[in-house]
Chain A
Amino acid sequence: MTPAGAPARSRSVAIAGLLAAGFVLLALLGSLVVPHDPLAVDLAHRFEAPTLAHLLGTDHLGRDILSRLIAGARTTLGSVLVVLALVLALGLSVGGLSGMLGGRIDAVLMRLCDVFLTVPTFVLALFMIGALGTGLVNVVAAIVLSHWAWYARIVRGLVLELKTRDYVLAARIAGAPRLAIFVEHVLPGVVPPLAALATLDIGHMALHVAGLSFLGLGVQPPTPEWGVMINDARAFFWTRPLLVIWPGLAIALAVLAFNRLGDALRDRLDPTLVAGRGL
């Protein structure tokens, strides 16, 4: 039963997949393929239009924009990867413990989650940066702290549902220890929807990193990062709009690609999961 319009949709997924793979490759191999040093200032060649030497032109300090975009992919996507790894680790362990053990432990952990769920990312980030100073580490910490509770909740819900399966009862009756039951029978049911959700959130978290850096709270200049690049170019928006457009385009494409990929994954795995998240 292929719904109408499926070919167009699968084409968009293919494009999104290619784009996402491209971004990941750039983030991984960026330092090998950059045409110029992304930090090299060359005041003689400021604001150059795109040429063969500088495919996307140069910025207000004469730095090669393409090189900075490629290096920025590493900063942005790399920090998103760290955020996701931490969020998944926290969410899986807290949600898994909560769901498997139940009772008081569950109640305490879920109230803790409730507290974190009430804090918006930007408010928490502003608070942390006010208290601890600006920097990428604090931004990453703020995003992790404001997102892990969603994952813990979802993991717990999945665990609770999977726990009622007969084969979990069968494993319990067979004397299997709880950790083995979790790893063998519960985790395989938790991972696929979680992977879909995480992919869907890559774009969302990249926006947070770039957004906070744009505000001057995260990555500090001269480190190449997409949000920082937009902030740098802000002053020249009316005269040199391309300086804003290039990093903006990179952010938009990355977010769209990962979103589309996550959407497709979610549709394949569990169409009901994220619908209840109400974001």
Chain B
Amino acid sequence: MTVRTLRAGGLAVETWRATRRGREPVPLVRDASLDLRTGEVLALVGASGSGKSLACAALLDTLPPGTRRTGGRILLDGAETEPAALRGRAVASVLQAPRTAFNPLRTIDDHAGETLAVAGLRGGAGRAAMREALAAVGLGDDPRVPGLYPFQMSGGMLQRAMIALALLSRAPFLVADEPTTDLDLVAQARILDLLADLVRERSLGLLIVTHDLGVVARLADRVAVMAEGRIVETGAAKSIFARPSEPATQALLAAHQALHEVAPDGPPAVTDLLP
């Protein structure tokens, strides 16, 4: 299987504030570059408000109102691509809050139909793909799942369903913005295991946004650290944990260690977080 690449170069996002002399731009993300390969997990870490989520939104041009992308280009396998063209085709996404990411009036099946329409799969082929995707995320045993409404499912199940939808799109890359933040610890560990398995089995390129270094240690091959809208440090996960060179990275590590009381020389594992 050939390795596919997704590169975002020099992403910049700004908002603006009104001053007496008119609008004044306020940069939120500055010159952020991300490099993603299939079969590899890149973790984007940073404190709250460091611009992680905005950088991901800029990648797909789904920035919230009041912000705009002012720079950067996206290269898919080396060819420049419109961000909107990536959505659902080259890049699938898993959002933070599964509870609100599903339309309460639509069943899982309805949501799958939407993804299948983008992927161009219809009828029997679509249903087969759906069964396969649900089985891959561990929801294949219960035949009722496709007909369930979001409120009939637990947060963990919904997050699995969202990952199944992402698989259904057949996109080679997956962006997961804090996929475990809204889940309890046991569900967190399971979702992370699932993501790790899927990356290995299907050779997905996973960009995982998190502020939890335990997640990073467990999953990531490479890490990009963001602080104040810039990517301050990039490197292999091991070397970043062993030799953090930037103050922002050191602060994140120190905070994590203070919280979980693990030895500074070894990367903390998610299992440490389990009660």
Contacts and interface: CB of A to CB of B under 8 A. Distances in A.
A180 B117 CA distance: 10
Given A174-B88, A174-B115, A175-B118, A166 B106 contact: no
A171 B114 contact: yes
Given A170-B102, A185-B103, A176 B114 contact: yes
A169 B118 CA distance: 15
Contact of A175 (B95, B103, B106, B169): B169
Contacts of A175: 87-89, 118, 169
A42 interface: no
Contacts of B105: 188-189
Given A180-B117, A184-B110, A184-B114, A173 B103 contact: no
A172 interface: yes
Interface in B58-110: 60, 62, 87-89, 92-93, 95, 97, 100-106, 110
A9 interface: no
A167 B114 contact: no
A20 to B, nearest CB: 27
A234 interface: no
B129 interface: no
B165 interface: yes
Given A174-B87, A174-B169, A175-B89, A167 B102 contact: yes
Interface string A137-169: 000000000000000000000000000011101
A166 B95 contact: yes
Nearest to A175: B88
A166 B87 contact: no
Nearest to B106: A184
Given A174-B115, A175-B87, A167 B62 contact: no
A170 B118 contact: no
Centre residue among B95, B110, B169 by max chain A CB count within 10 A: B95
Contact of A184 (B60, B103, B162): B103
Contact of B118 (A166, A176, A188, A189): A176
Contacts of A188: 103, 105-106
Size class of A's contact patch?
A: 10 to 19
Contacts of B102: 167, 170
A173 B93 contact: yes
A166 B93 contact: no
Contacts of A184: 103, 106, 110, 114
A208 to B, nearest CB: 34
Given A174-B115, A176-B118, A180-B114, A169 B95 contact: yes
B62 A166 contact: no
Interface string B105-131: 110001000110110000000000000
A180 B110 CA distance: 12
B6 to A, nearest CB: 15
Contact of B87 (A167, A173, A180, A185): A173
Contacts of B89: 175
Contacts of B92: 174
A185 B100 CA distance: 13
Interface string B41-72: 00000000000000000001010000000000
A158 to B, nearest CB: 14
A172 B93 CA distance: 10
A242 B93 CA distance: 71
Given A169-B95, A175-B87, 13 more contacts: A167-B103, A169-B101, A170-B101, A173-B60, A173-B87, A173-B88, A174-B165, A175-B89, A176-B117, A180-B114, A180-B117, A184-B110, A188-B103
20 contacts: A165-B100, A165-B103, A166-B100, A167-B100, A167-B104, A169-B95, A171-B114, A172-B87, A173-B88, A173-B93, A175-B87, A175-B88, A175-B89, A175-B118, A175-B169, A176-B88, A176-B118, A184-B110, A188-B103, A188-B105
Interface of B: 60, 62, 87-89, 92-93, 95, 97, 100-106, 110, 114-115, 117-118, 162, 165, 169
